[in-house]
A and B are shown apart, each in its own frame.
Chain A
Amino acid sequence: MPKRTDIKKILLIGSGPIIISQACEFDYSGTQACKALREEGYEVILINSNPATIMTDPEMADRTYVEPITPEAVEKIIASERPDALLPTLGGQTGLNTAVALAESGVLARYGVEMIGASLPVIHKAEDREKFRHAMERIGLAMPKSGFARNMNEVVNIAEEIGFPIIIRAAFTLGGTGSGVAYNREELNEIAKAGLEASMISEVMVEQSVLGWKEYELEVMRDRADNVVIICSIENFDAMGVHTGESITVAPAQTLTDREYQKMRNAAIAIMREIGVETGGSNVQFAVHPKTGEMIVVEMNPRVSRSSALASKATGFPIAKIAAKLAVGYTLDEIPNDITRETMASFEPAIDYVVTKIPRWTFEKFPETEDYLTTSMKSVGETMAIGRTFKESLQKAVRSLEIGRFGLGQALPEEEQARNQLLQSKLIQPNSLRLFYIAEALKNGIAIDDVHDWTKIDPWFLHQIREILEAEEELAGAQPSAELLRDAKKMGFSDRALGELWNKTESEIRDWRKRENIAPVYKLVDTCAAEFEAYTPYYYSTYEQENEIRPSAKKKIAIIGGGPNRIGQGIEFDYCCVHASFALSEEGIESIMINSNPETVSTDYDTSDKLFFEPVTLEDVLHILEAEKPDGVIVQFGGQTPLNLARGLEEAGVPIIGTSPAAIDRAENRDRFQEIVKKLNLKQPDNDTAMNVEEALAAAGRIGYPVLVRPSYVLGGRSMEIVYDPETLRSFMARALLVSPGHPVLIDRFLEDAVEVDVDAISDGRTTVVAGIMEHIEEAGIHSGDSACILPPVTIAPSMMERIDAQTKMLAAELGVVGLMNIQYAIKDKELYVLEVNPRASRTVPFVSKAVGVPLAKIATRVMLGKTLQDLGFTKTIVPKHVSVKEAVFPFNRFPGADIILGPEMKSTGEVMGIDRSFGMAFAKSQMAAGFQMPSSGSVFISVHDRHKEGIADVAASLAKLGFKILATSGTAAYLNGRGTAAATVRKVSEGRPHVVDLIKNGDIQMVINTSVGRKSTQDAYSIRHGALSYNILYTTTLAGARALAEAAKAWIEEDWGVCPLQEYYKKQNGAVIPGERSATRLVPFSVKPGRDD
């Protein structure tokens, strides 16, 4: 069947900010969908609030709305764009839920918008567990025993029938939020209550536990002619009980015979038909009893998912792209397979390698939360590796994780070893390091049977791990030989791991291998196990006979990606890498992408001329560069990961283009950077280093409290603190010296209440253009990644803007920047301080690019290729007439016990963008995009630290004037009443009931303003913030945030809000304005924040 001609305009809903369980895999799928639909001549209208996505690049859709993904916003878009169809299945659960809301409220019918891909009844049938269960019964498939409960009574009744252990799953939530396993009554109460609260429809499923069963997933596609194919089977290494997003997973399935696999395949196909997914991809999960083979259906997702992104990367079959084409009417046998060209998409990929995915966790960021894995997701990213054996694939995946492990058997930290007696419990209770505990247990001689008993992991996997350990033991005990070296490389051992076994350095092993001619070969991911010729150069390495790499004679540049997403290094860097690739192809240069992250656009085989799906380690990257011999390598776009390789690459003679690694080091090295600051006569906060408590106290005394302290040689902002007094400093020092023994602690003067500014600039080596100056809303001291920011700034005076511009140019020139540069400044008492200079792409590059309408990373790439900014026509700062706000999005609700307070350590997983004509409305939009309701009436609860009382008075007054009722804790209330704003007193939790949390629960509070100072916060403050978090109440923990919220509330109440696509904003933008000339475009300043101008 050919494509439909009765529809012309299609609306796509994206998935919004990167959050745990919904990450950049939906940028990958959305981008593919945009491309596929436009290729077919459809007009694509897109909504997504996430500026860091490729899909929101203005070239990707005809009209791109960076607006909050709420039914209201989408309705406004529908009203003005009048699309013919809405494709809801490519924007994750957010896209699906929003589409459902629009269909249910009648908006789609009212505007005549057809839902394509999956209809409302289909979505309901798949997502509503009761309906799904009935459907499964009709086709004779089993599900775990279960019942639905809408209150605790019902929960208990059902639980009694089923018996413990019991799984609680909240209906209509993301990534298993509000889900958990209860082994007893008490846990049942706790988990079911949270589940009922988390569910959008206040419903939980109480379910028979199939903990310990084997878990599988099938990725299925169906077209409207009822052709169904299975794209990929995935087996979970971790048994049932661990969310599939938290599991190590392997493709294809390893421990099923054909008979068992076909039974599952038949079931998946029957489910597709019964649920009625008309076109597109779905994911079906199964559990299999390890002793009897009994198979049950766990769930299905009638949309593309994290697993489908993984399956696409694992097989080379682009599920989202094909799903988009099926949605507009094509059938599978009409769509060519890009990779083989001669065959069609109507087949089932055969792969001839093993794919291993390992999630990447960041428990270290949330020390209050215990490291254990459940049916609710906590991982923030994942890495995938391809090898010809499971052992090779697993070892590559381990080093791809970038957690400092280059092999399985590498000893656990001493602290962990001391807990060896706890090994059994570490195996029983799934946790982020369980793979390594398994290795430790097997090394300690614990039997495979016992390990299996405790972990329920299939013995097949455990034997694989043991074989790696046995090999390691043999290597360690043997005289190193070329033959052993060859064998070890074949099994996936890294040079680093071999070096440790043989007491040699990584480079010694590499040199030895070179002498022995032991190098990897590259094989193609071709969807067909070499049955057909493949045309798409998507490679992985292995140690075998035949090399399939075909280096071209063209000019080529390699881009090193950022590896797995983590807090602090996410989609923003992938965005830059993808732009580099686009720019290269526009310049006619061959692009070579190296990355290990299966979620991203960068690892789409369609993005670059060549894709190497490989660990981003020095060894693996050097191999590729030696094989491809590119003319240049880009390291400044992928975040810290490629930068960490820069020196090693340079030593190996690799031509790094753009800013030199030496310059990067000059900026990153504290002492060397101080010299630059001195030389240029700039200002830095006073600072010092200390090796012990006494030195620290002396330094802090000299600098003056508060001070910002951090141990050196720890990763990204970790353990950084603001210290207000000697006592706290003492306890910090005790911890810091433990974390990083033998290294100095860095002590900086903390600029209290300073305004922080982020600057992104591009330099071609001669000319530097400031691309964007962003004013942070939160004061200095809050990690820049966690702070909201505004572009253009609203409270910084023109003269200060000029100073920022000038200093940025001086620093760029001094460092010899070629490409992108990011500087963080602080403004305090009319002084400008340089906090940090990073001569590389920053997290804010996509935001600035979208705000000013200039593709910065592309320009930077061209500059690195030797073009001048003059050549490229980018010589002046563009100051847009609209206001753009970037707001951070946090994963606190995933980490029980974590406090939502912000500090110098980054905790956000993603960001949203709000754009409008005024700051207030842009900020309001950013809050809605982040998932909060903007209140137009009701009560605001205020409880602030003494230091902030004076500042909060204006905020309270302004809110009261807007008609909000002010509620406050006794101290704050007294102060506010004294300043003329009527505030009613509300009890703290410790003061008896009804208290503030009761009010939050009852829906009597619409906004929470709660600040504290320092690391310690009282139990009362914690309860308040936790209540706000649990009930998703708009909140802020900073004074500056409170000011912005008041401004937003004002705009929300007084202005009409509308939606506008990026393309329109850019059209209205008439020419470039240089900083300092911007008084004409001056926007509404903070009406409630006095005296920040200099």
Chain B
Amino acid sequence: MSPFKKNRRALLVLEDGSVFEGSAFAGAGEALGEVVFNTGMTGYQEIVTDPSYKGQIVAMTYPLIGNTGVNDEDMESAGLHLEGFLVREYQSHPSNWRMTKSLRAYLEDAGKIGMEGLDTRALTRRLRRSGSMKGILSTVSRDIPSLLEKVQNAPGLVGRDLVREVSCTKPYRWNQGAPEAFGPPVGKSPGKLRVVVLDCGVKYNILRILESHGCEVMVLPAEATGRQVLSCDPDGILFSNGPGDPAALPYLVETARGVLGKMPVFGICLGHQILGQAVGGRTQKLKFGHHGINQPVKNLKTGRVEITSQNHGFVVAPESVGGKASPTFTNLNDATSEGMQMEGAMSVQYHPEAAPGPRDTEYLFSRFVAMMKKRR
């Protein structure tokens, strides 16, 4: 093959009419979604397997992607959820001792399009200035007006419930690093804390860390009701991360209201936004969101700076929860809300489970465990 890869030309058209040319390194066809950029220099495998990217086409700002292939241990879910993947230069000769597959093969097996060769920095700058935009990625059409029409007619993220598309349909138990069918309810093993995780698109690392803290982890579909949750006799409940507009999830807000105050609750990312709404707050959309692993967050209690992994396009408007929840973390770049605390509950906008990203805030899981133990 020619080193000047030109085999499958691909186009990215944004809703403002801007066009980026490149070629497909994986997959073919068309994909629609909100285009966001992620500034992480590592962690593309975790990103492509993160269910929170449902509905989005992700551009990596780091230009070389695919270097280490894909391995079995770093999966953040059972599949791929993003709509398309944009990189400056795909690395067709990956090298890493844990690699089991190339990124190309992984994307292709999942039927996703990977595009390379476009000026990802120009794209990033466009998104930074104009805010997140819808886009269409096509390897089949070069008819820009018709692609543009498709983009403009496509639904955006606002008002869309994407959680249902990524949540598990049946409850499962997280057992030794893997999902296991949820058998008939069993009695709790003595000394083990049972955590029910509401799967809004949960990243496996949340489950891994809970398990490593000795918790028994039960994962329920997002649509589970408060009663269903409580019927599992949990010691604590975790509202997970997930995709889409948090304002489009009244059923989850309802579930949260049903459990808040009854036992320790932990909300992560979308889970934080759900808890925020449950105490009466509202969410709003950020211009282009936070997607990266270098976001500095100030712990308002200790004054310390913690470097966090983030992936969200919506935030809880801080004034909307005033009086009902106290702020615990704030983003040092743009002063947006990064965490709050309520009676018996805590939530953070960022990802303490990292994967990808720094593990600076993993201590929150210990804190959650301590909250559960204390209640017991």
Q: Measuring CB to CB, which residues of chain A are less than 8 angstroms from any residue of chain B?
A: 225-227, 229, 233, 252-259, 261-262, 265-266, 290-293, 331-333, 342-344, 346-354, 388-390, 458-460, 463-464, 467-468, 470-471, 474, 484, 487-488, 491, 523, 528-533, 544-546, 548
Q: Which residue of B lies closest to A544 (CB)?
A: B119
Cα A532 to Cα B305 with chains together (Å): 19
Q: Are A255 and B304 in contact (CB under 8 A)?
A: no
Q: Are A258 and B74 in contact (CB under 8 A)?
A: yes
Q: Are B39 and A257 in contact (CB under 8 A)?
A: no
Q: Report 23 cross-chain contacts, Cβ distance below 8 Å, ordered by A residue.
A: A225-B303, A227-B305, A229-B305, A254-B67, A255-B68, A258-B355, A258-B357, A293-B98, A333-B305, A342-B333, A346-B305, A352-B62, A352-B63, A388-B89, A459-B95, A470-B3, A471-B3, A523-B121, A529-B124, A530-B124, A531-B39, A544-B121, A545-B122
Q: Tell me which of A474, A529, A533, A546 has the highest count of chain B C-beta atoms within 10 A of its own C-beta.
A: A529
Q: A460-B67, A529-B62, A545-B122 are in contact. Are A293 and B3 (CB under 8 A)?
A: no
A contacts with B: majority SS: loop
A261 neighbours in B (Cβ, 8 Å): 42
Map CB proximity to A onto B344-361 as digits: 1 under 8 Å, 0 otherwise. Answer: 000000000011111100
Which listed residue, A253, A351, A532, touches B333 by the CB 8 Å rule? A532
Cα A484 to Cα B2 with chains together (Å): 11
A254 neighbours in B (Cβ, 8 Å): 64, 67
Which listed residue, A226, A389, A491, touches B64 by the CB 8 Å rule? A389
Q: Are B64 and A256 in contact (CB under 8 A)?
A: no
A229 neighbours in B (Cβ, 8 Å): 296, 305, 307
Q: Are A546 and B122 in contact (CB under 8 A)?
A: yes
Q: How far is the CB of B181 from chain A (nearest CB, A)?
A: 27
Q: How far is the CB of A448 from chain B (nearest CB, A)?
A: 8
Map CB proximity to A onto B122-134 as digits: 1 under 8 Å, 0 otherwise. Answer: 1011001000000
Q: How far is the CB of A482 from chain B (nearest CB, A)?
A: 13
Q: Are A257 and B68 in contact (CB under 8 A)?
A: yes
Cα A225 to Cα B299 with chains together (Å): 12
Q: How far is the CB of B46 from chain A (nearest CB, A)?
A: 6
Q: Which residue of A lies closest to B61 (CB)?
A: A529
Which listed residue, B93, B298, B303, touches A460 by the CB 8 Å rule? B93
Cα A153 to Cα B276 with chains together (Å): 70
B96 neighbours in A (Cβ, 8 Å): 255-257
Which listed residue, B63, B97, B296, touches A388 by the CB 8 Å rule? B63
Q: How far is the CB of B91 from chain A (nearest CB, A)?
A: 7
Which listed residue, A293, A464, A546, touches B121 by the CB 8 Å rule? A546
Q: Are B41 and A389 in contact (CB under 8 A)?
A: no
Cα A831 to Cα B280 with chains together (Å): 97
Q: Are B122 and A343 in contact (CB under 8 A)?
A: no
Q: Are A262 and B354 in contact (CB under 8 A)?
A: yes
Which listed residue, B61, B71, B88, B97, touches A389 by the CB 8 Å rule? B88
Q: How far is the CB of A695 from chain B (nearest CB, A)?
A: 51
Q: Are B41 and A252 in contact (CB under 8 A)?
A: yes
Q: Are B93 and A351 in contact (CB under 8 A)?
A: no
Known: A262-B42, A545-B119. 18 other contacts (CB 8 A): A255-B67, A256-B42, A257-B43, A257-B71, A258-B357, A293-B97, A346-B332, A350-B40, A350-B62, A352-B88, A388-B89, A389-B64, A467-B3, A491-B4, A530-B37, A531-B128, A533-B128, A546-B121
Q: Are B359 and A262 in contact (CB under 8 A)?
A: yes
- Size band of the interface chain B makes with A: 35 or more
Cα A532 to Cα B287 with chains together (Å): 12
Q: Are A257 and B45 in contact (CB under 8 A)?
A: yes
Q: Are B304 and A226 in contact (CB under 8 A)?
A: yes
Q: Are B63 and A347 in contact (CB under 8 A)?
A: no
Q: Which of B70-115 contact A (CB under 8 A)?
A: 71, 73-74, 88-89, 91, 93-98
Q: Are B128 and A390 in contact (CB under 8 A)?
A: no
Q: Which residue of B lies closest to A388 (CB)?
A: B63
B37 neighbours in A (Cβ, 8 Å): 529-531
Q: Flag whether B295 is at the interface (Cβ < 8 A).
A: yes
Q: Are B294 and A258 in contact (CB under 8 A)?
A: no
Q: Which residue of A lies closest to B47 (CB)?
A: A258
Q: How far is the CB of B163 from chain A (nearest CB, A)?
A: 25
A532 neighbours in B (Cβ, 8 Å): 128, 333
A491 neighbours in B (Cβ, 8 Å): 3-4
Q: Are B304 and A258 in contact (CB under 8 A)?
A: no
Cα A293 to Cα B73 with chains together (Å): 14
B292 neighbours in A (Cβ, 8 Å): 350, 529, 531
Q: Flag whether B172 is at the interface (Cβ < 8 A).
A: no
B365 neighbours in A (Cβ, 8 Å): none
Q: Are A546 and B97 in contact (CB under 8 A)?
A: no
Cα A1016 to Cα B297 with chains together (Å): 67
Q: How far is the CB of B131 from chain A (nearest CB, A)?
A: 13
B337 neighbours in A (Cβ, 8 Å): none
Cα A354 to Cα B40 with chains together (Å): 14
Which listed residue, B2, B20, B74, B91, touches A259 by the CB 8 Å rule? B74
Q: Are B294 and A349 in contact (CB under 8 A)?
A: yes
Which listed residue, A257, A463, A467, A529, touches B42 by the CB 8 Å rule? A257
Q: Are A347 and B121 in contact (CB under 8 A)?
A: no
A529 neighbours in B (Cβ, 8 Å): 37, 39, 61-62, 121, 124, 292
Q: How far is the CB of A417 from chain B (nearest CB, A)?
A: 24
Q: Are B122 and A487 in contact (CB under 8 A)?
A: no
Cα A291 to Cα B96 with chains together (Å): 8
Q: Which of B323-376 contact A (CB under 8 A)?
A: 332-333, 354-359
Q: Flag whether B139 is at the interface (Cβ < 8 A).
A: no
Q: How far is the CB of A284 from chain B (nearest CB, A)?
A: 16
Q: Which residue of B lies closest to A473 (CB)?
A: B3
Q: Which residue of B lies closest to A529 (CB)?
A: B61
Q: Are A350 and B41 in contact (CB under 8 A)?
A: yes
Q: Are A460 and B95 in contact (CB under 8 A)?
A: yes
B6 neighbours in A (Cβ, 8 Å): 487
B333 neighbours in A (Cβ, 8 Å): 342-343, 347, 532
Q: Are B73 and A259 in contact (CB under 8 A)?
A: yes
Q: Are B97 and A291 in contact (CB under 8 A)?
A: yes
B296 neighbours in A (Cβ, 8 Å): 229, 333, 343-344, 346-347
A460 neighbours in B (Cβ, 8 Å): 67, 91, 93-95
A233 neighbours in B (Cβ, 8 Å): 41
B20 neighbours in A (Cβ, 8 Å): 545
Cα A252 to Cα B42 with chains together (Å): 9
Q: Tell me which of A259, A354, A532 has the highest count of chain B C-beta atoms within 10 A of its own C-beta.
A: A259
Cα A458 to Cα B91 with chains together (Å): 14
Q: A254-B67, A460-B95, A545-B20 are in contact. Are A474 and B3 (CB under 8 A)?
A: yes
Q: A332-B305, A531-B128, A546-B121 are in contact. Are A262 and B358 (CB under 8 A)?
A: yes
Cα A343 to Cα B39 with chains together (Å): 16
Q: Flag whether B311 is at the interface (Cβ < 8 A).
A: no
Q: Tell me which of A254, A257, A458, A463 has the highest count of chain B C-beta atoms within 10 A of its own C-beta.
A: A257
Q: Which residue of A lies closest to B6 (CB)?
A: A487
Q: Flag whether B138 is at the interface (Cβ < 8 A).
A: no
Cα A366 to Cα B129 with chains together (Å): 55
Q: Are A265 and B358 in contact (CB under 8 A)?
A: yes
Q: Flag whether B277 is at the interface (Cβ < 8 A).
A: no
Q: Flag whether B120 is at the interface (Cβ < 8 A).
A: yes
Q: How far is the CB of A545 from chain B (nearest CB, A)?
A: 4
Cα A39 to Cα B287 with chains together (Å): 36
Q: How far is the CB of A232 from chain B (nearest CB, A)?
A: 10
B122 neighbours in A (Cβ, 8 Å): 544-546
Q: A258-B42, A348-B294 are in contact. Are A458 and B61 (CB under 8 A)?
A: no
Q: Are B298 and A333 in contact (CB under 8 A)?
A: yes
Q: Which residue of B lies closest to A265 (CB)?
A: B358
Q: How far is the CB of B367 from chain A (nearest CB, A)?
A: 18
Q: Tell me which of A460, A484, A523 has the highest count of chain B C-beta atoms within 10 A of its own C-beta.
A: A460
Q: Which residue of B lies closest to A229 (CB)?
A: B307
A227 neighbours in B (Cβ, 8 Å): 304-305
Cα A225 to Cα B298 with chains together (Å): 12
Which 6 A-B pairs rank lowest in CB-CB distance, beginning with the nearest?
A: A546-B122, A258-B43, A463-B93, A258-B356, A545-B119, A529-B61
Q: How far is the CB of B275 from chain A (nearest CB, A)?
A: 27
Q: Are A390 and B40 in contact (CB under 8 A)?
A: no
B304 neighbours in A (Cβ, 8 Å): 225-227
